[in-house]
């Protein structure tokens, strides 16, 4: 009975806390990431493509194919938009790229070449599609804005949460699991690089993050940031996100098929895989190796195959 009353109280407080925002001006865009084949001029392979809604004036962070990206839209009107893109590549010798754009709708802005690990060359495209009104009622938080998130320190990762949310009351549960898994994984791999991570236990898909919509997480090893959803009804807070960030930081970038499979080494994926085999739901490994294929297949099945 006490647990039920606690949940009801938390729900009431949460609803009151999250209901202060309103509709804001935004823009719907299509993002694309390509790897340029340096042996064949002009040939490129699509690695990532998705549509994202950006809030005007909110700096939005994401991680793609070995580089961290920040995009912020300034002017948004009916004919064109202006925005700034800042890219930092993953690695001990990071490359920085920054550019401002004024673009009409349906015309893709291009940032290239983005030079990553072992000289790999990438192309980032941002195509504004239309001006839109974004409903931020219940989810108007910005992770870098002062006062939106509180924080509690831990050994390997500081945990950020919205006050009086699920993360505020139960962050220690996530902390224990994250720290235990990290300690074991770190010993197995003999990690030596210092530094801490920042794990955000978000009450909703906040608009200052470009989410991986397969699992609603975002891991940015360049900035040491990890974003998950942590609520009563939805929970993507898995220590695999911390291990994935550590893999990228210590070994450099690898395709998601390899990096995410490695990050799941300590999970129950072997048992889950046996269940998929029984149900005849496995995916050919050859099909997952093709550029972009792993990210476009059924998320749960593809992740277990990795």
Assess contact for 247 and 258: CB atoms under 8 A.
Answer: no
Q: What is this structure's pTM?
A: 0.83
127-154: average pLDDT: 94
- Of 3-17, 58-72, 189-203, 277-291, minimum mean pLDDT range: 3-17
What does the pLDDT read at residue 299?
52
The Cα angle at residue 277 between residues 273 and 279, in degrees rounded to 5: 115
163-199 tens-digit pLDDT = 999 999 988 989 999 999 999 999 999 988 777 899 9
More confident residue, 112 or 40: 112
What does the pLDDT read at residue 306?
46
270-290: average pLDDT: 62
**Which bin fits 147, alpha (ψ -120 to 50), beta or left (φ > 0)?**
left
Assess contact for 174 and 159: CB atoms under 8 A.
Answer: yes
Sheet holding 150-152, edge to edge: 150-152, 157-161, 197-202, 225-229, 217-220
251-275 tens-digit pLDDT = 988 888 889 888 988 876 666 666 6
Which of helix, strand or coil describes residue 271?
helix
Dump strand ranges (E) for the chain: 23-36, 44-55, 60-64, 67-76, 80-89, 96-104, 109-115, 121-135, 150-152, 157-161, 197-202, 217-220, 225-229
225-243 tens-digit pLDDT = 999 999 999 899 999 999 9
H-run or E-run covering 182: helix 166-189
72-100: average pLDDT: 95
Which of helix, strand or coil describes residue 238?
coil
What does the alpha-carbon distance between residue 69 and residue 61 come to, in Å, rounded to a whole number? 6
Assess contact for 29 and 50: CB atoms under 8 A.
Answer: no
What does the pLDDT read at residue 14?
42
Assess contact for 28 and 51: CB atoms under 8 A.
Answer: yes
Name the band, by pLDDT with cuts 50, 70 and 90, for residue 12. Answer: very low
| Cβ-based neighbours of 174, under 8 Å, separated by 6 or more | 159, 167, 199, 201, 230, 237
Assess contact for 174 and 214: CB atoms under 8 A.
Answer: no
């Amino acid at each position: 009975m006490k647990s039920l009353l606690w949940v009801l109280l938390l729900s009431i407080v949460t609803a009151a806390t999250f209901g202060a925002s309103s509709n804001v001006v935004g823009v719907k865009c299509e993002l694309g990431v390509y790897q340029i084949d340096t042996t064949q001029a002009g040939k490129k392979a699509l690695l990532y493509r998705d549509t994202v809604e950006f809030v005007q004036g909110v700096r939005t962070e994401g991680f793609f194919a070995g580089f961290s990206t920040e995009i912020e839209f300034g002017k948004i009107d009916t004919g064109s938009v202006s925005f700034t893109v800042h890219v930092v590549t993953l690695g001990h010798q990071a490359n920085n790229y920054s550019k401002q754009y004024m673009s009409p709708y349906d015309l893709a802005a291009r940032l290239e070449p983005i030079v990553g690990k072992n000289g790999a060359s990438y192309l980032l495209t941002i195509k504004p599609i239309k001006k839109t009104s974004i409903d931020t009622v219940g989810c108007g938080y910005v992770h870098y804005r002062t006062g939106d998130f509180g924080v509690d320190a831990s050994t390997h990762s500081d945990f950020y949460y919205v006050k009086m949310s699920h993360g505020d009351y139960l962050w220690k549960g996530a902390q224990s699991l994250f720290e235990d898994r990290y300690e074991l994984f770190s010993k197995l791999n003999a990690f030596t690089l210092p530094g801490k991570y920042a794990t955000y236990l978000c009450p909703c898909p906040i608009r200052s993050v470009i989410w991986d919509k397969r699992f609603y997480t975002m891991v940015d090893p360049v900035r040491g940031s990890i974003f998950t959803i942590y609520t009563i009804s939805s929970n993507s807070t898995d220590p695999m996100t911390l291990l994935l960030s550590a893999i990228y930081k210590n070994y450099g970038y690898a395709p998601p098929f390899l990096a995410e499979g490695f990050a799941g080494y300590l999970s129950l994926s072997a048992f889950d895989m046996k269940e998929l085999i029984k149900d005849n739901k496995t995916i050919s490994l050859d099909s997952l190796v093709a550029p972009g294929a792993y990210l476009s297949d059924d998320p749960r099945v593809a992740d277990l195959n990795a």
